[in-house]
Chain A
Amino acid sequence: MSKLFHIRPKSCIIKGDIHNIVCHPKVMSMKKQKYWYKLDNAGKIFPAVSQDERSNVFRLSFYLDETIDSTILEEAVNKVLPRFETFAVQLKNGLFWNYFASNTKHFEVEIEPPQVCKYFKAYKNHGYLFKVYYLDNKVTLETFHAISDGTGAMHFLRSIVFNYYRIRGFKLDHEGKILSEKPYSKKESEDNFVSNYDKAKRRNLKEEKAYHIEGERFSNHWVLMLKARVDTKSLLTLVKTKYQCTVTQFVTAMLAHAIYKESVDFTGNKKPLKIFIPVNLRPYFDSVTLRNFSLYIKGTYDAKRTDWTFENMLELTKEQFKDQLDKDKLQSRISSLVGFEKNVFIRVLPLVLKTVAFKIGYNILGESISSCSISNLGVVDLPQGLESKILDADFVNAGYGIAMTLISLKSHTNIIFSSPLKDLSIMNHMVQFLVSEGLDVTLDTNYKEGYDEIL
């Protein structure tokens, strides 16, 4: 347990305006207080298509070594918010496109609701497109996907928690890993989809429809979360030595095999199983942006085949990953996506009509091209002083169907399944598979006995 070095300073927040906060002078002097952004390519569609059953919100949580003081947490959020220009925004309507305008209103933290990745209306959240919740020793950041992806949100959450402890009086060294303690760079707010657009590399993107897992849903848009905690070293040993693959390839094949085994209508289906896996594009394009900069690659498995085994699914997954994780191919897809929004007919279409078109298009195509998704956020890199205070981390991406997420902290990895469906057979198959591979699995869930009657 770290020692308390300083007495908590008196609150420096004047309610109503986050720019009244006394912040790091080096940081603030570099930044404009009024700014605006166009929405990035990935974020453009989300405001039009998000609703209760399709929130497009993802969750990151840290479990701290103490019960959260909500007043200090709110102070910490408001302290770091001016530094995170891409989070301190509100969504506005233009004539042709939405845009983000600076938001200087005071941010309020809330107690965590029972529903994971709950859809929220920005208007009721002082215009902000993210939520910060607290519950006992847990801090949760839920982010609307239009403003950022997992990597950007993780930077924000780390900074909030780091400043939370600082305000509490702990002396912590950021070791260059906490963004709020570093000077602001314009590169953090850059739209890297546009900056990597190459007209010559555009190609026609055509997607066939995917198999969908159907079943009875929980009521009130409730999403079941099942967290399987395994030892990272054991998991890495298994995937590297026995299967010669990466963790993401392993879990993709595992999910595909579970669906093949447990879904009665999959074999012989006309539509293939398509698992979407978002790839962080930052390392490929030397980016430090906090805005969306990820692109899906996919694992596709033919439903007509009847000889699938875990091993041949894994071999196919490896081939598909190798083929798709190519910088030129990724840039080609970026260019195609950006090329679509640069189309003159799309651009001059008024926002009202665009919104209707997005809604119709998304209902016809958006969900039909993907069966489920897997997102691996990797290892949470924290400064030593902070790492000892964070006991666990969650990463949940509750989508329309089954979603799987992975996050590693210290010596363990959390494989989190989320599903709006009441059928647990696919999750059961995966857990049994991990156990059969010799991993020690510890489960946690947001399910409680008696929920059957109310959900």
Chain B
Amino acid sequence: MKYCKTCHVHYDTTLEHCMLCNGELESDGYVQETYKFSECEKRKASRFFHRLFIFLNIVSILITLYIDYSDGLPLTWSLVVSITNLYAVVMFVLLAVPTMWTSKLTKSVIVTIGMVILIGLAIRDHQWALDYVLPFAIMSNILLITLLIFINRKKWFDHFSSLIIITFLGLVPGLLNLLNVTEVTWPSVACFSYALVTLLGIIFLPSKASREEFRRRFHV
């Protein structure tokens, strides 16, 4: 045990100097003091490259918008570049956050659909995005999660929120079709029907356990 004769306190640690007065500690030599914690090491600035990536994308957006704007014509190609830059940043953040990969996949699909539609709007031709990309992306995501649930039925509730979100989103192409926003009908109707059947399946088919899961997820 060590002792500080200035502060009149004992020390049960490996310090050589008193924390309170910085005076040298005296050791009685009988008890070997130990440091009872993990050693602290200098940490590297691990987030530097994350910040650099985001910074470079923002710079890219500003430069392309400026060059395109300085032509004096309406913005076109720069919007595509900016949307892609923005998409890269959002995807980077989304993938960096630790969540379940089904949740990451669903979010990625939603962000990608959004990006594709925005690019469509930027090039003044968004029908292909709404008519084909939106319904097919949603249908494939619903199919994938449904398959996952069937493969690993024990843990089906881990994928429940992803399935619910993407299924509700699957109703959107049908509504867009009703409002005459889409031009090609069959993919939207197919997506709407598939989402509706899945939703009804979630509500009516499952067991007591899945109704309980509903209760948990929607408790107010």
Residue numbers of A with Cβ under 8 A of B are: 34, 36, 38, 63, 92-97, 99, 101, 111-116, 121, 123-124, 135-136, 138, 219-220, 222, 225-226, 228-229, 347-348, 424, 427-428, 431-432, 435, 440-449, 451, 453-455
Interface centre among B10, B12, B40, B161 (most CB of A within 10 A): B40
A455-B43 Cα distance, complex, nearest whole Å = 9
Interface centre among B12, B19, B157 (most CB of A within 10 A): B19
Given contacts A92-B216, A99-B216, 15 further A-B contacts (CB under 8 A): A93-B161, A95-B218, A101-B157, A114-B38, A114-B40, A114-B41, A116-B37, A123-B99, A123-B100, A431-B20, A442-B11, A443-B13, A444-B36, A448-B40, A449-B16
A135 touches B17 (CB 8 A): no
Chain B window 1-43, contacts with chain A (Cβ cutoff 8 Å), 1 for yes, 0 for no: 1000001111111111101100000000000001111111111
Residue B217 at the A interface, CB < 8 A? yes
B11 touches A443 (CB 8 A): yes
A448-B16 Cα distance, complex, nearest whole Å = 9
Residue B201 at the A interface, CB < 8 A? no
A435 touches B9 (CB 8 A): yes
Known: A94-B219, A95-B217, A348-B220. A446 touches B37 (CB 8 A): yes
Q: Give the Cβ gap from A219 to chain B, nearest Cβ, in Å.
A: 8
A451-B39 Cα distance, complex, nearest whole Å = 10
Interface of B is mostly: loop
A124 touches B10 (CB 8 A): no
A96 contact from B35, B39, B220, Cβ within 8 A: B220
A443 contact from B9, B39, B43, B216, Cβ within 8 A: B9
B216 touches A445 (CB 8 A): no
Residues of A within 8 A of B16 (CB): 449
B37 touches A114 (CB 8 A): yes
B38 touches A135 (CB 8 A): yes
Residues of B within 8 A of A124 (CB): 98
Q: List 30 A-B pairs, Cβ < 8 Å.
A: A38-B219, A93-B161, A96-B218, A96-B220, A99-B216, A101-B216, A112-B37, A112-B38, A114-B38, A114-B41, A115-B40, A116-B37, A123-B98, A136-B36, A225-B37, A347-B220, A431-B9, A432-B7, A435-B9, A441-B8, A441-B10, A442-B11, A443-B12, A444-B11, A448-B14, A448-B40, A449-B16, A451-B40, A454-B41, A454-B42
Q: Give the Cβ gap from A224 to chain B, nearest Cβ, in Å.
A: 9
Select from chain B the residue with minimum beta-carbon distance to A38.
B219
A210-B156 Cα distance, complex, nearest whole Å = 48
Ordered nearest first, which 6 A-B pairs have the shortest CB separation? A114-B40, A442-B10, A454-B42, A446-B37, A114-B38, A123-B98
B13 touches A431 (CB 8 A): no
A443 touches B219 (CB 8 A): no
A444-B40 Cα distance, complex, nearest whole Å = 16
Residues of A within 8 A of B38 (CB): 111-114, 135
B36 touches A114 (CB 8 A): no
A448 touches B15 (CB 8 A): yes
B19 touches A63 (CB 8 A): no
Chain B window 191-220, contacts with chain A (Cβ cutoff 8 Å), 1 for yes, 0 for no: 000000000000000000100100011111
